[in-house]
Amino acid sequence: MDRRTFFDVLACELLAITGAIAQPAGKLYRIGYLSAGANPPAVPLAVFTDALRDLGWIERKTFVLEPRFADNHPDRLAELAAELVRLKVDVIVTRGTLAPLAAKRATSTIPIVMTSTADPMGSGIVSNLARPGGNITGLSMNSPELAGKRLQLLKDMFPGIATVAVLWNDASPNEANQYPALVFAQTEAAGRTLGIRILSVPVHDESGVQKALDAALRNGAGGLITIEDPFTNNHRAEIIDFAARHRLPAMYGLREFVDAGGLLSYGAHLADLSRRGAQYVDKILKGANPGDLPIEQPTKFELVINLKTAMALDITIPQSILVRADEVIR
């Protein structure tokens, strides 16, 4: 055995010993996972379970995962959250904003860890980020600088752009609707700073997306920003198709849009948030009170560019932007 292999083996053994000491012998924890989205999720569950493994947890030996997906039917979340409560899971990990809202209604005692909630305070999940209290903690996916950076990226790519349409959900049957309004206001403020006219394109029903986008084009939109939200995410194929047909440069908040053929996205690095969520779970299962753990903002962001889409739209992405990209789809 060479020196490097010896130390690798030693490190693994020490990790296993540390995990065994930190966790009650024979205890098999049940970790619930709740998402309004589809399975498989955009961020594979393996990202989360691998992060737990790095902390000394072993799937099916020290914990089991109970994943529940609403498959883009938010009305199912209440039933799925109640199911996890009946299973007496030790902690519920959530993705998005609708899932923690459903979990909060289902239990006030089981710890809830958010991994990518848009606006924890604005959506009514918690009243304080530094000391959330109760049984909820985790990570927000919003940062006050995001809206401005997205608009700046469009301006850097297209210096002559004068008007940008912002597609956002202005009405929803749940509290999570405050996030799109917040980001729209931040984008408007950034537009004033950058000298770009911002067109508000509010949508909230199934038949309104095409009409709203057509109206934006008639009003001189030279670019499009779509604010991430369950509604706009569910309509991403329609939005991407519209941008392609009209050769409209479009920026999205979620990389799922770029994976589906959209031009580019800039937002919180969701895989990083998932890994950090595992750290919260680790602390809670070792005895930490979730209400004492501050809710943190994203610290890592990703720019994803679809070069195939750019070529199809006859758009040249400046080299200065390409070298800043975290991923380029060719």
Of 7-16, 185-194, 257-266, 300-309, which gets the smallest average pLDDT?
7-16
Residue 24: the pLDDT is 54
Q: Are 269 and 299 in contact (CB under 8 A)?
A: no
Domain total of the chain: 2
Q: Tens digit of pLDDT for each residue in 258-285? A: 999 999 999 999 999 999 999 999 999 9
> Rounded CA gap, 94 and 71, in Å?
14
Residues 22 and 92 in one domain: yes
Query: Count of alpha carbons within 13 Å of 23, Cβ hemisphere only?
Result: 22
Residues 212 and 315 in one domain: yes
Residues 107 and 168 in one domain: no
Residues 7 and 130 in one domain: yes
Residue 264: the pLDDT is 97
Residue 20: the pLDDT is 43
Of 40-44, 216-220, 288-292, which gets the smallest average pLDDT?
40-44
Residue 297: the pLDDT is 94
Three-class SS of residue 68? strand
Q: Are 274 and 49 in contact (CB under 8 A)?
A: no
Residues 154 and 196 in one domain: yes
Residue 179: the pLDDT is 83
pLDDT band at 23 (very low <50, low <70, confident <90, very high): low
Number of Cβ within a 10 Å radius of residue 255 = 25
Residues 115 and 174 in one domain: no
Residues 184 and 250 in one domain: yes
Residues 274 and 126 in one domain: yes
Residues 53 and 74 in one domain: yes
117 conformational bin, left if phi > 0, alpha if psi -120 to 50, beta if neither: beta
**Would you say residue 213 has pLDDT above 70?**
yes
Of 74-88, 176-190, 311-325, which gets the smallest average pLDDT?
176-190
Mean of all residue pLDDT scores within the chain: 90
> Rounded CA gap, 255 and 299, in Å?
17
Rounded to 10°, the helix 178-194/146-157 angle is 50
Q: Tens digit of pLDDT for each residue in 224-243? A: 999 988 889 889 999 999 99
**Would you say residue 162 has pLDDT above 90?**
yes
Number of Cβ within a 10 Å radius of residue 75 = 11
Residues 274 and 260 in one domain: no
Residue 207: the pLDDT is 82
Three-class SS of residue 178? helix
**Would you say residue 101 has pLDDT above 50?**
yes
CATH of the domain at 228: 3.40.50.2300
Q: What is the mean pLDDT of residues 37-61?
A: 95
Residues 237 and 306 in one domain: yes
Residue 178: the pLDDT is 78
Q: Provide, rounded to the nearest whole percent, the portion of the chain with pLDDT above 90.
A: 77
Q: What is the mean pLDDT of residues 153-181?
A: 83
Enumerate residues 6+ apart whose C-beta is below 8 A from 1. Answer: 9
Q: What is the mean pLDDT of residues 133-150?
A: 93
pLDDT band at 5 (very low <50, low <70, confident <90, very high): very low
Q: Phi and psi at residue 66, in whole multiples of 5°? A: -115, 85
**Would you say residue 64 has pLDDT above 50?**
yes
Residues 97 and 172 in one domain: no
Q: Are 118 and 140 in contact (CB under 8 A)?
A: yes
* Domain hosting residue 199, numbered range: 146-268+302-329
